[in-house]
Amino acid sequence: MEIIFKNVTHSYEANSPLEGLGLDDVSLTIHDKKFTAIVGKTGSGKSTLVRHINALLKPTSGTILVGDREITPETNNKNLKPLRKNVGMVFQFPESQLFEDTVEKDIMFGPMNFGMSEADAKKSAHKMIELVGLGKEYLDKSPFDLSGGQMRRVAIAGVLASEPETIILDEPTAGLDPVGRKEIMDLFKNLQEQGRTIILITHNMDDVANYAEEMVVIHDAKVKAVGKPKDIFNDRSLLTDDILTLPRSAVFAQRLAKKNFSFPQLPITISELTTEIKRQVHGD
Amino acid sequence: MNKLILGRYLPGDSIIYRLDPRGKFLITFYFIGIVFLANNVASYGFLLLFVLFAVYISKINLGFFIKGLRPMLWLILFTVLLQLFFTPSENPLWHWGIFTLSTDGMRIAAYIFIRFVLIIFISTLLTLTTTPIEISDSIESILKPLKVIKFPVTQVALMLSIALRFVPLLIDETTKIMDAQRARGVDFGEGGIMQRIKSFVPILIPLFVSSFSIAYDLAIAMESRGYKDGEGRSKYRVLSWSKRDYMALVVMLLITIILLFIRSY
Ligand SMILES: Nc1ncnc2c1ncn2[C@@H]1O[C@H](COP(=O)(O)OP(=O)(O)OP(=O)(O)O)[C@@H](O)[C@H]1O
Ligand SMILES: [Mg+2]
């Protein structure tokens, strides 16, 4: 599903002295079956932006098109299930959504709300628990006996179990260990390769460089830039006023540039960096 | 979730903000008491004028006070209608079954309505201009004499300020959990009554779990910073009683005298 924002503005606590702009006239297209990263500093409006896609927030003005479903300020709260089934959302610290007495039941909760039969939901739970890297033996445990990272995986499985076409991830790897974070990111990349649309909010520029095909930079409730990560990380105007930081490989390349190397385009991943260094050292 | 104006602080600055919270707290209760002394058009009018004047010098938009009425709307409507149609009268304007409409009834209904407005406006004024922490500090200070009878004033005050601190925290947490469950297909406020009650389980359990863990963290943090029983601690926020607070008391005294005068007039 293609997702189109048309002049979307959202103000929190509209018509009161505490009014604050969450989004300011945002127009944006998120392409079908692509891996899109959304970046921007704390409080820039990233979470506000993605909450509009499954109508948890409604725009104060403007419209959002999700496939053929239109969300406007007048959209009411009825009949949103089909939309929310298609747009899965993993929140910042999703472990706070766990409540059932076993992991299995908790994973089945979403799919059954969306009308999946108990047998199918169970099947889905068994598949997803393995997919997120926990064994079947976890299914009978209480979610509250797990470690933080394991809870995170269960919560992610609970969202994937409804088989959404579009998956929104709000800093899904915050607080995970490096190996765990790579596993989870690889999982999302795999899901995308199987034909899903992935929208990832992250503060980790290496993840953006390694996984994303498209990138959206949000700054002060506005869209500052949209494009390929490679182009955006090479745009000097964005790097100056602390809107954006660079991936590690690009930072490394900048240092090498001071020592007789030259990079017309900054490499953004480790493999790009090593290829470029080899080329310049061996001169071929 | 954020619609409750009553009980919420609004950052700002005016003479009302600068009054000592203890004075404001006591004056508010005192005023609610003397509202019940009013008994005729002039006395209600006088109190209404005073409250509107207080709102004016607080420099807060009147709209906030009117919004404060909203959560009480049904209660107000119910009471007013009750007075309007059930006040017994010698010469009713209209009579049907158990319903009686009379000028007396209308007058009493109007008084009741104004009484609600007065009480809600003045308490909204207190909470809009006084932070919850200031209120709990005032309660501690007002309760201090009870130490004589071994009442644990400092502990109670600490419990109160922690409880107050938890309110916004729990509201945020509830909103977050509700959003997460909505995204998993829960429809709050749909279906029959059983369905609705059931839809709260996925909120309540995570809410309990996280409040316990926040409370536990807080306890550890306090202990590790050496908190024992709160006795003999000095204060970071010192309340100071100044000339304008005496002025406020004098104003209240004047109001009472004028009110007593108009009342018997
Ligand atoms: N419920 C709310 N009520 C009022 N203002 C809010 C609310 N939620 C967010 N805001 C404000 O809207 C702005 C954008 O917040 P948002 O949560 O979208 O930021 P973010 O980009 O997701 O930040 P982070 O990286 O910290 O998650 C912030 O300035 C914030 O203060
Ligand atoms: Mg966020």
Check whether residue A66 and residue A170 sit in a common domain: yes
Closest CA to A21 of A240, A221, A270: A221
Q: What is the pLDDT of residues B223-262, one digit of tens each?
A: 898 887 766 777 777 888 889 999 999 999 999 999 999 9
Would you put residue A71 in left (φ > 0), alpha (ψ -120 to 50) or beta? beta
Q: What is the mean pLDDT of residues A103-109?
A: 95
Q: Which of residues 160-199 of A touch B (CB under 8 A)?
A: 162
CB B201 within 8 A of CB B188: no
Q: Which two tokens stand for residue A154?
A: 């269960």
C-beta A204 within 6 A of ligand 1: no
Q: Which of residues 141-160 of A touch B (CB under 8 A)?
A: 144, 158-159
The residue with tokens 């005729």 is: B40
**pLDDT value for A17:** 61
Q: B-chain residues within 8 Å CB-CB of A158?
A: 184
- Domain of B48? 2-130+241-264
| A46 and A158 together in one domain | no
Whether residue A173 sits in one domain with residue A74: yes
List Cβ neighbours of B48 (8 Å cut-off, separation of 6 or more).
Answer: B114, B117, B118
At A16, the pLDDT band (50, 70, 90 cuts) reads: low
pLDDT, tens digit, for every residue of A258-283?
Answer: 888 888 888 999 999 999 899 888 87
- Name the amino acid, one letter, at A282: H
Is the pLDDT at B6 greater than 60? The verdict is no
Chain B residues touching A125 at Cβ < 8 A: none
Q: How far is the CA of B198 from the centre of ligand 2 (A)?
A: 29
Confidence of residue A18 (pLDDT cuts 50, 70, 90): low
Q: What is the rounded end-to-end Cα distance, in angstroms, of chain A?
A: 44
CA A160 to chain centre: 13
The residue of chain A nearest to residue B67, with distances taken between CA atoms, is A16
Q: Which residue has the tokens 């003045």?
A: B122
Asked if residue B236 belongs to a domain, the reply is: no
Rounded CA-CA distance A13/B155 in Å is 36
Neighbours of A33 (CB within 10 A): 16
The span from the CA of B182 to the CA of B173, in Å, is: 14
In a domain, B232, yes or no: no
Give the position, in ligand 1's atom list, of the atom nearest the Cα of A18.
4
Question: Going by CA atoms, what residue is nearest to atom 24 of ligand 1?
Answer: A42
Say how many residues make up chain A. 284
Q: Is residue B20 part of a domain?
A: yes
Nearest alpha-carbon partner for A206 in A265, A241, A240, A252: A252
User: Which atom of ligand 1 lies closest to the CA of A21?
Assistant: 12
The burial of B240, by beta-carbon neighbours within 10 Å (0-12 exposed, 13-18 middle, 19 or more buried), is given as exposed
Report how far apart, in Å, the C-alpha atoms of B90 and of each of B98, B99, B102 are. Answer: 14, 13, 9
Percent of chain B with pLDDT over 90: 41
Q: What is the pLDDT of residues B125-177, one digit of tens each?
A: 998 999 888 888 888 888 888 888 888 888 888 888 888 778 878 888 899 99
Same structural domain for residues B182 and B76? no
Token pair 């644990």 is found at: B152
Q: What is the pLDDT of residues A168-185, one digit of tens each?
A: 999 998 878 888 889 999
H-helix segments, A114-204: 118-131, 148-160, 178-193
Instruction: Report how far residue A223's alpha carbon sits from residue A215's, in angstroms, rounded to the nearest whole number.
Output: 11
CATH number at residue A19: 3.40.50.300
The closest residue, in CA terms, to atom 31 on ligand 1 is A43
Residue A236 in any domain: the answer is no
Which residues in chain A are contacts of B180 at CB distance < 8 A? 89, 91, 94, 96-97
> B84-110 in b/e burial notation, b at 16+ Cβ within 10 A?
bbebeeeebeeeeeeebbbebbeebbe
The model's pTM: 0.78
Residues paired with A20 in a beta bridge? A12
Are B183 and B245 in the same domain? no
**What is the spatial distance between Cα A59 and Cα A55, in angstroms, rounded to a whole number?**
9
The number of angstroms, rounded, from the C-alpha of B20 to the middle of its chain's C-alpha atoms is 18
CB < 8 Å to A110, chain B:
184-185
| Domain extent for A283 | 246-284
A183 and A225 share one domain: yes
Q: Same domain for B48 and B88?
A: yes
HSE at residue A2, side-chain half, CA atoms within 13 A, is 7
Number of domains within chain B: 2
B171 has a chain A CB within 8 A of its CB: no
Question: What atom of ligand 1 comes closest to residue A48's alpha carbon?
Answer: 18
Q: B93 and B59 in one domain?
A: yes
Given a cut of 80, whether residue A196 has pLDDT beyond it is yes
**Surface of B (62-121) touching A: CB under 8 A:** none
Is A155 found in the same domain as A125? Answer: yes
Q: Is pLDDT above 80 for B2?
A: no
Per the structure block, which two tokens stand in for A263? 């990079």
In this predicted structure, the answer to whether residue A237 has a pLDDT above a threshold of 70 is yes
Q: How many CB atoms lie within 10 A of CB B205?
A: 16
DSSP state of A10: E
ipTM of the complex: 0.87
**How far apart are alpha carbons A149 and A130 in whole angstroms?**
15
Do B61 and B165 lie in one domain? The reply is no
Residue type, B262: I
Judgement on whether residues A75 and A169 belong to the same structural domain of the protein: yes
Ligand at minimal distance from the CA of A216 is 1
Any domain includes A84: no
